[in-house]
Structures are given as C-alpha cells and as structure tokens.
Amino acid sequence: MKARWLDILFLGALLFVLVLLPLLVNNYWLRIATGALMWAGLACSWNMLGGYAGYINFGHSAFFGLGAYVTALMMVDPLGLPFAATIPAGIAVTAACAVIIGAPTLRLRGAYFAIATWAFAEVLIQFATVMEFTGGIGGLSLPPFLNERFFYFAMLMAAALTYLVTWALFEHSRFGLKVKALRDHEPAAEAMGINTSLVKLQTFVLSAVTASVFGAIFAYWVTFINPKSVFGGDITDQMVVMVLLGGLGTLWGPAIGGVALFVVNRLIWMYWGDTAFYIAILGAAIVLVVLFLPNGIAGLFAKRGRGSVSVLGKAVEKLVGAGEGDRK
Amino acid sequence: MSTSTQPLTQKPDAAVDPILVVRGLHKHFGGIKAADGVDLEVGRCEIAGLIGPNGSGKSTLFSLVSGTVAPDKGEVRFDGRDIAGQNAYKVARLGLARTFQIPALFDNMTVTENLLAAAAEGHWPGAHERAAETLALLKLEHVADNRASDLSGGQQKLLEFGRVIMRQASLILLDEVTAGVHPNIRKIILEAIAKLRERGVSFLIIEHDMEMVRSVCDRIIVMDSGRVVTSGPFEEIVRNSEVMKTYLGRPQ
Amino acid sequence: MDLFLQTLLNGLLIGGVIATFTIAFQLTFGVLHVIDFAVGGWVVLGGYLGYYIVAGLGLDGFVAIPVAFVLFGAIGYLIGPILYNVRNSRTARPELMALALTFGLFTLLRGGMLTAWGFNTRTVATALSGESLMVGPVTVPLIRVAAALFAVMIAGGLFVFLYRTRYGLAIRATAENRHNAALMGVNIRRLSANVYGLYAGITAMAGVLMGAIYSVNPESGLRYTLFAFFVAVLAGLGSVGGAVVAALLLGVVEAYVATYVGSSYSLLAIFATLFLVLLISPRGILRRGL
C-alpha cells in the first residue's frame, strides 16, 4: 500500500508543476510543453486500441485530422462558429467514421483492420487535397487566437482527461478486463461471454474521438492546417513509435515515450530544421524497439514473474537463436 | 445465473432430464467429417464422460456446442433453447462454460485478473470475493499476482478450470482438463467438480484417463469418426466389445 | 473509341507488371502471415537501382533486372527469418509486432531514400524508351509491351515453380496450413527466408520496370504499397489466383481514371475502391484458393 501513496504523491506533484508551469517559463518553452502534452495524449489515445486491445491502427492521423478540419471548417466563413461549438461536432463526425470503418473490419484478423485504417487516412489526405471546400493543398487558415496559456491549459486538460479515462476504464474496470482478455485470446474471451466485436468497436471509437479532440485544439492553436500537416502519415508513425517505445498496453508508457520522442523531435528540428532524416529515425526506432525492446521502456521496470534474463538478453537470444517453432 | 429450477412446461424425461440435447449435428472441414450426425444429451446434475480415439470429433463437438464454430446443420438445445449457430458469447451468457484443449489463458493478465475477466460479463457484484474463494479452492493463492503465462502447465490447467467456475454456469464442458497434470492437481480438480455438482451443475467431460472416467462420470458417451457410437454406465461400456475395439483396444 | 481501346491496352500491360509483385506479396502473406508494408519500398529501391545502373555505369536499364533480383533477393533472404521470429515470438501480440516491424521498415526505407535522394524523380532509361508500337489505330509505348512480356515470363516462371516443383508444393502447403506443413517436415523458418527473398527480388525487378515505364521517387512507395493492398483485399489475403485478376483490374481502372477523370484522382479512386471493398466484402470479392 506504500507504493499507492507514493504514486498519488508523485501524481499530485506532477500536476502541481504542470499547472504552475506557465508562471515559470517563457512562451517559447510553453509552446514546447503544449506540444509535449498533445503528443502524450495522442500516444495514449492510440494505445487504447493498439496496446490494450491489440489492434494496430495505421491511420490514426485520420481522426486527428478530422477533428482539425471540422473545427477549421466551422470556424472560418461562412459559419464562423465559436471554438467550443466545434468540438462536439468533431467528436460526432469522428465517431461515425470510426463505426463505419471498425464495424466490418474489426471482426476480421488484425491485418485487414491495419489496411483499412491506413487506407482511410490516405483517402482523407487525397480527398482534402483535391476538394475545394477544404482549401485543397493550400489548406485552411483559422481566425488567430494568440494566447499561449489558453492552449497550454486546453492541452493539459485534454491530456489529463485522456489519462484519467484510460486509468479508470482500462486499468480499473470490468471494461478494461474485457478489452485485455480479448487481446490475449479472442476465442476464450468469447467463451467467457464477452461480445468481443462490440468491445473492440467501443474501444476504437473512444480512441478515435480522443484523437479528434486533440486535432481540434491543434488546429485552433497553429491557426493554419493543410492535408499533410494534420492527416500526414508521419503523425501516425510518431504515435506508433511513442507507444512502442514507452510500452504497449501500459498507462504511463505512452506518456514517457510521447514526451521523450517529442523532445528528440524538437532537438532535431532545432539543429537540422525540417529534415527527412527524422522519418528514417522514426522507422529505425520502430524496427529497433520491435526487435530489442518489445515491452518498451515501461517493460524494463515491470515486475517479472520469473526468469532472470533481461529483456534485451531475451531479444538478442530470440534473434540469433534458432526458431522456437510455431507459437505453442 | 444460478441453476434455475426447470420450467413446468418441459416434459420430464424418465431416464434423463436433459440440460443439453444435440440432434443430427453435422460439420465438415473440407473433406473431413468432424461431426457426422452427432446425437447426445446431458442430463441435469449429470456428469457425462465423452471418450473416443483422437480425431473422433470430441473437441469439434465442444466448439460446435459452445458456438466457437458454427455447425453445417443440426440442432443444439441448451436448457430448452435452440443455440445452434449462436455466437459463442451469447451461448456463454446463457450459462454454458467450457475449457479449451490447449490452455487458452489471458497470458498477459495476472491469475486474479484472469478470474475476474471471466466474471466481467455476468454477475459482477461480489466477483472479487468469488475470485478469492476460487483461488483458495484451487490452491492458487500464492500465484494470484503472477502473469498467467508464467504459470506451470498444471497451474494453467487449474486456472482455466477456475475461470469456468467464475462463470457460474449450469453446464460445464471440460476438455482434457486433467491431462498430463500432477496427481495433486488432479485431486484438486476432482474435488472441485464434486463440489460444483452438489450445487446442481452438469458436466460433459472429454477424458482419456479411464481411471478418472470411472471415478467421476455417471455415464459414458463413446464417439468415433464424428458419430456417437454408444453410451451407458462405465461397466457396461467396458463390457461392450465394439467399444473395446475402437477405443479401449490399447491395454490400460 | 481509339482512346478507349488504347487506355484498356495500357491498363492491361501495367496490370501485368503489378501482378508480378502482388503474386509474390500474397505468397509471402501465406507463408509468413504478415502483410508487408515495405512492399512499396522494395519497388522504389528497384527503380533507383535501375537509375544508377544507367546513370552511373552507363549500361542499359534492362541490365538492372537480374541485378535487382539477386541483390534484393539476398537482402530479403536476410530479413525473412527476422520477420518469422517476430511473428512467432511470445510477446503479447506477435501479429501486431510483425505488422509494426514491416511498417517501421517501410518508414525507414522512405525516410532513408528521402534523405539520400531528396524528392527528385528518376526514370530508368532503356533501349526501348521513347519507342512506340502501332497496333491498328492504337499506339502503345514499346517499353510497356516489353515490361508486360517480362511480367508474363516472371509470373509464368513463378507458377511453374509453385505448381511443378517439390519446393513449390512445400510453399503452397505451408500457405494453406502451417501446422500441417510443419508436421510434414517443412522447415518453415528456412522457407520464410527463401520466400521473402524471392518476393523481395521479384518486387525489385517490378520496380525496375515501373521506373522505366513511369518514374520513381521516394514518395511513390506509398502508391505501390497501396497497389499490393488493393490486390490483396480484392483477391482475399493470401490468394494467388485471384491476385492476377485483381492486378489486371487495378491496371485498367487506374488507366481509365487517369485518362478520363484526371491522374490526380486515380489514387483517391483506388483508395476509395479498396476501402469500399473492405467495408462491403472484407474477405475479398475474388476469393479463390491458392
């Protein structure tokens, strides 16, 4: 029980620092902190389905982008609606899209779902590029609102809410048990009375909707969006790396991976600018984590039931050793 | 989902009052007839043993009854309801629970979580207490917080059995639940089966160990090549030369 | 009417080239149970190899075809077992990890090529470049005809290999049922190395042809990954027979959209079709066994 109190103490301190941060740093660092919060939240939203349910979504940027575009389209002329009004609309659109994609494909093996989500994101890029009402390749400009503190607190709230929901729903409820059960063994989960198709769809919708909220805040924050900047595959790549690096299916893994990778991203950007080399780094990171750190950074600290071989040692053994044959 | 008293409309059968009735069940995989017109029933509070050579269709029958695999044709009535071709989760919610031949645990969850996940869809209040009771019953308390994949083979069998207990089912299908386990663990399982039967649970058990079949089962059902060959009390089956040939041919 | 026929013929010729690497892609899925996101990366790398053999060594683009097969066959042979090990490891979700691995590989190839070569578009020059063939009223670039002939040869060779040799039988048996194949003594790990090598080699060869017909740049990998997925979804994952039909269909559809609607819409049209097929008949509408 001592650990529980330490957790609460640590969390309280973290929240305290985060709330006071705008008083401590200048706008430049506040922007970086805002970005870090957004990525930590986005990584967590990807992890809901990818980590807890074991279904990999290669088009998560679609939902981020949908949130951004719905907000942008509603705030520019002729509608000119206030920002707050656009978020529910973004949520509704995203949820509908997630149901349309998820309902048929989540019943099949993961490969079909991966293709469907990837294709959906690419359709949206192409669509937003060729259509006129989305501003085509030039994108859309939103009415500027230059208040860094507002966006910092908006992202902080969204991220805190995302982690709170994940903690409550996936770590401390029956729903979380169902999700993890179907990840580990779908037929067995069905035999326990779990409607796996429904649970997967619910998880997918929640994950998509969360990303759309971040997209909406992002669009208002940067005041200018185009198809590449909100639908781009790099956004999904980055989320995948963050979650894999931090630890798939853990609560704090995506936060650790998200903040760590975002800092690396900013450093690279500071020294080399907008470089294609970063894409190569993302790719290499995915490959290396899959091969050598399949449980992520969080996995390094997790208690192991038995076996003294380190995670790294096991991975090397697995790579060079003869195939163990089919799984079980 | 406790065992309901049977509805009055149902005709009580003199010999058995079946909780499960299977009629003319067919399933073909390519050219293989895994179920070729299976007929059988399991009575209320009965423990029926299902024996037969490897590949005779026992495990396929479990999958067909529990909804994991949809039959080509035929009837499956559970507690008076037609469940043939129903989704597995719906069948499970009606009060039918099963184990898998190859342990199908939730590998990355702890032992306790495995038990709780089994109760997640069903009667939830008191689930934590029941999980603790089940752990005690199966003598798994010392590994309660271990990951399921870190258990020994025998403990995995116990845990899978524990999940079935958590379902509070009225009919339990056990697929070789004591195969290859230590005698101590087998003893735990047998005691648990006896305890559940006192509460009115029915069983259909696939088993290769004839000693276990003799000691636990009220009645034996013999399958071969996707059909039920015969059924009856253990002694009667053993005397039957046909069965001896197809199954018991190998000396004990 | 001439334009209509010409588009049809062009589409079929391109479809033939698409068929070569999508057959290999399907085979890889059958044996390894992984969809390879990196497929487009191999195509583009093949195209660049062709470009450098022409530009660097002054040789004809066709020389690059066998070189591509050997070079990428060897690379694939090394990657295959790694993919197999990840797919069959005991992590939480081996299928997911294997998917992530090919996705990471695809991203790595794309980023690496962008870093090395930028966004510049490259074309593979061959002896046939610029020549065309008149068939009645229809004009067809000669390179497309040659590429299609080449594709038929590769695909024909692959089918003979699959259906007339013992090793081909082992591959088909594994694709149908890994468990039984393993029981029959097939070493699936070694088979995975060979199949992935074969697939990478064939895909790179198709890349040389694509580089000669169109051109390649690091971002066009996306297009070929999409092609492979389109064919896989239409045919049903792992189905080799359906892959040929789906590839030809894809070539024709793309040609018509590009001719009559505009080439900027062709990717959108393909994505949308792929997506609709996934929603309506997710297991494939041309589903046929191996």
Q: Give the mutation candidate from A190, A192, A202 for the B interface (greatest B CB count, under 10 A).
A: A192
Beta strand residue intervals within chain A, DSSP E: 140-141, 224-225
- Residue B77's pLDDT band, with cuts at 50, 70 and 90, is very high
Residues 6+ apart with CB under 8 A from A195: B87, B89, B121
Chain B CB contacts of A304 under 8 Å are: 150
Chain C CB contacts of B108 under 8 Å are: 92
- For A172, name the nearest residue in chain B, comparing CA atoms only: B113
Report the domain count for chain B. 1
Confidence at residue C1, expressed as pLDDT on a 0 to 100 scale: 65
Confidence at residue A315, expressed as pLDDT on a 0 to 100 scale: 47
SS (H, E, C) chain C: CHHHHHHHHHHHHHHHHHHHHHHHHHHHHHHHCCCCCCHHHHHHHHHHHHHHHHHHHCCCHHHHHHHHHHHHHHHHHHHHHHHHHHHCCCCCCHHHHHHHHHHHHHHHHHHHHHHHHCCCCECCCCCCCCCEEEECCEEEEHHHHHHHHHHHHHHHHHHHHHHHCHHHHHHHHHHHCHHHHHHCCCCHHHHHHHHHHHHHHHHHHHHHHHHHHCCECHHHHHHHHHHHHHHHHHHCCCCCHHHHHHHHHHHHHHHHHHHHHCHHHHHHHHHHHHHHHHHHCCCCCCCCCC
Pick the range with the lowest mean pLDDT from B88-92, B132-136, B215-219: B215-219
Residue B24: what residue type?
A: G
Domain ranges of chain C: 2-125+139-220
CA distance to A35, C137, C147, C204, per residue, from C129 (Å): 50, 21, 11, 19
Alpha-carbon span C81 to C103, nearest angstrom:
17
- Indicate yes or no: CB of A119 within 8 angstroms of CB of C179: no
Q: Give the mutation candidate from B78, B114, B145, B151 for the A interface (greatest A CB count, under 10 A).
A: B114
Q: How many A-B residue pairs are in contact by the CB < 8 A criterion?
A: 90
Pick the most confident of A114-118, B127-131, C232-236, C265-269.
B127-131
- Indicate yes or no: CB of A111 within 8 angstroms of CB of C109: no
Encode pLDDT of B197-244 as tens digits: 999 899 999 988 888 888 889 999 988 888 888 888 888 887 776 666
| Cβ-based neighbour number of residue B9 at 10 Å | 6
- Indicate yes or no: CB of A283 within 8 angstroms of CB of C108: yes
Is B182 among the domain residues?
yes
Query: Tokens at residue B62, please?
Result: 């479990």
Chain B CB contacts of C90 under 8 Å are: 149
Q: Which domain holds residue B30?
A: 18-104+170-246
Where does residue B131 rank: exposed (0-12), middle (13-18), buried (19+ CB within 10 A)?
A: buried
- In this predicted structure, the answer to whether residue B250 has a pLDDT above a threshold of 60 is no
Q: Give the mutation candidate from B106, B128, B142 for the A interface (greatest A CB count, under 10 A).
A: B106
- Indicate yes or no: CB of A112 within 8 angstroms of CB of C90: no
Q: How far is A75 from chain C (nearest CA, A)?
A: 27
Alpha-carbon span A289 to A280, nearest angstrom:
14
Residue A252: what residue type?
A: W
Residues of A numbered 121-180 whose beta carbons fall under 8 angstroms of chain B's beta carbons: which are they?
Answer: 174-175, 177-178, 180
Q: How far is B205 from chain A (nearest CA, A)?
A: 17
Whole-prediction pTM: 0.87
Confidence at residue A132, expressed as pLDDT on a 0 to 100 scale: 84
Please check whether residue C31 is in contact with residue C171, taking contact to mean a CB–CB distance below 8 angstroms.
yes
Q: Give the mutation candidate from A177, A201, A327 for the B interface (greatest B CB count, under 10 A).
A: A177
- Indicate yes or no: CB of A177 within 8 angstroms of CB of B150: no
Confidence at residue B129, expressed as pLDDT on a 0 to 100 scale: 93
Q: How far is B106 from chain C (nearest CA, A)?
A: 10
Q: What is the mean pLDDT of chain A?
A: 87
Is B124 among the domain residues?
no
Confidence at residue C62, expressed as pLDDT on a 0 to 100 scale: 85
Q: How far is A156 from chain C (nearest CA, A)?
A: 29
Q: Which residues sit opposite B204 in a β-bridge?
A: B48, B173
- In this predicted structure, the answer to whether residue A161 has a pLDDT above a threshold of 50 is yes
Confidence at residue C290, expressed as pLDDT on a 0 to 100 scale: 40
Pick the range with the lowest mean pLDDT from A212-216, B49-53, C60-64, C132-136: C132-136
Is the Cβ of B150 closer than 8 Å to some Cβ of chain C?
A: no
- Residue A70's pLDDT band, with cuts at 50, 70 and 90, is very high
Please check whether residue B216 is in contact with residue B193, taking contact to mean a CB–CB distance below 8 angstroms.
yes
Alpha-carbon span A58 to A106, nearest angstrom:
14
Q: What is the mean pLDDT of chain B?
A: 84
Q: How far is A108 from chain B (nearest CA, A)?
A: 15
Is B143 among the domain residues?
no
Average pLDDT on A84-89 reads 94
Backbone angles phi, psi at B197, to 5 degrees: -65, -35
CA distance to A77, B122, B199, C72, per residue, from B158 (Å): 65, 21, 20, 50
| Cβ-based neighbour number of residue B152 at 10 Å | 12
Alpha-carbon span A175 to A192, nearest angstrom:
13
Query: Tokens at residue C3, please?
Result: 């334009």
CATH code for the domain in which residue B193 is found: 3.40.50.300
Confidence at residue B8, expressed as pLDDT on a 0 to 100 scale: 39
**Which residue positions in chain C have pLDDT lower than 70?**
1, 91-92, 183, 282, 285-290
Please check whether residue B192 is in contact with residue B138, taking contact to mean a CB–CB distance below 8 angstroms.
yes
Stretch (H or E) spanning B203: strand B202-206
Average pLDDT on A10-25 reads 89
Residue written as tokens 């088009």? A59
Alpha-carbon span C198 to C193, nearest angstrom:
9
Using alpha carbons, select from C13, C286, C288 the residue that is nearest to residue C152: C13
Longest dimension (CA), chain C: 61
Between these two residues, A142 and C119, which has the higher pLDDT value? A142
Alpha-carbon span A223 to C37, nearest angstrom:
33
Alpha-carbon span A247 to A241, nearest angstrom:
10
Q: How many B-C residue pairs are in contact by the CB < 8 A criterion?
A: 3
Residues of C numbered 79-98 whose beta carbons fall under 8 angstroms of chain B's beta carbons: which are they?
Answer: 90, 92
